[in-house]
Amino acid sequence: MGSYYLAIDIGASSGRHILCHMEEGKLVLEEVHRFPNGMKEKDGELCWDFDALFTEIKAGLKKCKEIGKIPVSVGIDTWGVDFVLLDENEKVLGNTVGYRDSRTNGMDEEVYKIIPEDKLYARTGIQKAIFNTIYQLMAVKKSHPEYLEKAKTFLMVPDYFHYLLSGVKSNEYTEATTGQLIDPATKEWDLELIEMLGYPKDIFQPVKTPGTVLGDLTPEVQAEVGFNCKVVLPATHDTGSAVLAVPSNNPDTVYISSGTWSLMGVERMEADCSPKSKAHNFTNEGGYQYRFRYLKNIMGLWMIQSVKKELKEERGLDLSFAVICEEASKQTIPSIVDCNDERFLAPKNMIKEVQAACKESEQPVPETYGEIASVIYNSLAKCYGATIEEIQEMTGKKYDSISIVGGGANAEYLNELTAKYTGRTVFAGPTEATAIGNLMVQMMTNGELKDLASARDCVFDSFAVKTYKPEA
């Protein structure tokens, strides 16, 4: 048996520890621990429970010890934009507020008083999203300036967990770019911009790239989990990891990283920070080896996840995504909503919000869960269809296929609709793309995979990929 590697992939609704080793030239995955996640209200703010998450991180490491499969390295990936501020005693200042909290309402206008929106995009290449770190920090500055005064360290979520594991502070590049404070030319913090905004620039850490070895587990963690291993930075932004696992070396591949969010785009070596790119709301997120993920952030399966949760809480229906998907495929309701409308970001009730949007636009109002899901899936796929045309316009290239990776690769009905609305062949899989991308970086760092091209070939050989053809 070869070496083991451990990816800890923490999403907005759950996290998992996935071990990987090579067998006959293929990647073999094993889930050893899974745990729930989500934002909960605390002091009137939507917050993450990072203490509980770190307990789960250690619990998964202990399971590796229990089953006798000690990894040579571990790396963590999470969602983007969220962060902690640490004081001089390494304690977290304030609540660990999440990106769906309303504290950023109006903070865009505060930022634009200092730097106009078009100049900000030209400078960072990152699309406007009200929850970006740049606006969250402005919210802290306005409501809790004392936190910024006391702060000695700024760490984004995966940086914080890597620090707790290794004792080493760093800001990983792919995650940092989601904050809208990185210069895409230098690939470093835009300290001039940070200063303009009145954020303390000395709290930001050196920007490190995926593949950086932070060091060993701290003695405290070693004592608790029962072993030592290397802590290696993957692409810590989950989309950065997921895109690595797209099983194609064709440079002209459009991907959808499909999970809570749908991230649809292409890989490029240079950022496009033009006014036209801004008008189309494309973003240039940092990727592996300084590639850019030129993509559009689409609301994604968050809408379905919310509906699933509400069906259980309000109607006592505990349904799997597969059942919801199957029921949606039987419906004929023609209604379409704009799934990128901010009304769907954190509504009190997603079902009612979708119904209200249909009613307001004078379309048939979905009543059953099958109809509601059908409206969401069709709306998402239609959005994908419009987005691929925009990608073609912006890149000047034609794309004849789409690779869907992540949890959404399992959503058969959505994949069929995507082929239909885009008129392209859809390749779906692997579903564990984020964890696989995380593992690929660790294995390349250790020399077990040679480079990105051979790693992607290995992913293609190792996992099932399903094909969906557009209707003739």
Positions annotated as catalytic residues are 238
Cα–Cα distance for residue pair 155/326, rounded to 1 Å: 42
- Please give the span between the terminal C-alpha atoms of the chain, in angstroms, as a whole number: 47
User: DSSP class of residue 368?
Assistant: S
Rounded to whole angstroms, the Cα distance separating 310 from 299 reads 18
Strand bridging mode 425-428 / 401-405: parallel
CB-neighbour burial class of residue 126 (10 A; exposed 0-12, middle 13-18, buried 19+) = buried
Cα–Cα distance, 277 to 319 (Å, whole number)? 40
Closest CA to 327 of 289, 383, 367: 367
- Burial status of residue 460 (CB atoms within 10 A of its CB: 0-12, 13-18, 19 or more): middle
Task: Give whole-number Cα distances, 68 to 5, 63, 110, in Å.
Answer: 13, 8, 53
Query: What are the structure tokens assigned to 143, written together?
Result: 């409501």
Buried b (16+ CB within 10 A) or exposed e, 413-423: bbbbbbbbbbe
Select from 151, 137, 126 the least CA-distant residue to 99.
137
Task: Tell me the two tokens of residue 211.
Answer: 């593949």
Q: How many CB atoms neighbour CB 203 within 10 A?
A: 15
Nearest Cα neighbor of 10 from 257, 225, 260 is 260
Pairing type for strands 230-232 and 213-216 reads antiparallel
Binning the chain into helix, strand and coil, the percentages to the nearest 5 are 45, 20, 35
At 447 the three-state DSSP class reads coil
Handedness of CA 288, 290, 296, 297 (dihedral sign): positive
Structure tokens given for 433: 């793309």
